[in-house]
Amino acid sequence: MPSRESSLTIISVSGPFREPREQVFSYDYAVQRSTWPTPHGVRVKISLPHELEVFRGRLLGEVAGSPGQQLMISNLLAKNLADLKIQIAETEGFFLERRDVMLAPFVGPLAHLLAKLEERFQAERAAIREEVKQRVGL
């Protein structure tokens, strides 16, 4: 576990991007520690069928809405999931060394981290639902 004075700071986030030939949204994070000379890049991928759709169902159930509302929900939820995945990767020691990292969906080799994502999602569920309610109007 990194010390408090060298905790990870998110400098910027861009996305979502649709990855070619993959069913994922991705976000690019610039992260920094006080002990690193420069920030480094982390690409976080959110699997559409295995993460986004599953957590959307847990958050809202079957919700109707306009295509624009559905897109806003997907964007809000995907960004929240990406933020949670960065937190999990930090606690798992993925960023102990300074190098560019690609954080894949939590399926396959990283499937063991899905339970941690579910725990954090449940803890944040009410706040995420409220954000969706305020910004999307559902």
**Number of domains within the chain:** 1
pLDDT of residue 85: 96
Q: Strands 101-103, 40-47: parallel, antiparallel or unpaired by DSSP? A: parallel
User: Which residue range forms the structural domain that includes residue 28?
Assistant: 4-136
Mean pLDDT on 92-98: 81
Residue 75 confidence (pLDDT) above 50? yes
Residue 3 confidence (pLDDT) above 70? no
What residue type is 80 in one-letter code? Answer: N
| pLDDT tens per residue across span 108-120 | 999 999 999 999 9
Query: How far is it, in rounded angstroms, from Cα 11 to Cα 32?
Result: 7
Strand pairing partners for 45? Answer: 26
Mean pLDDT on 66-91: 92
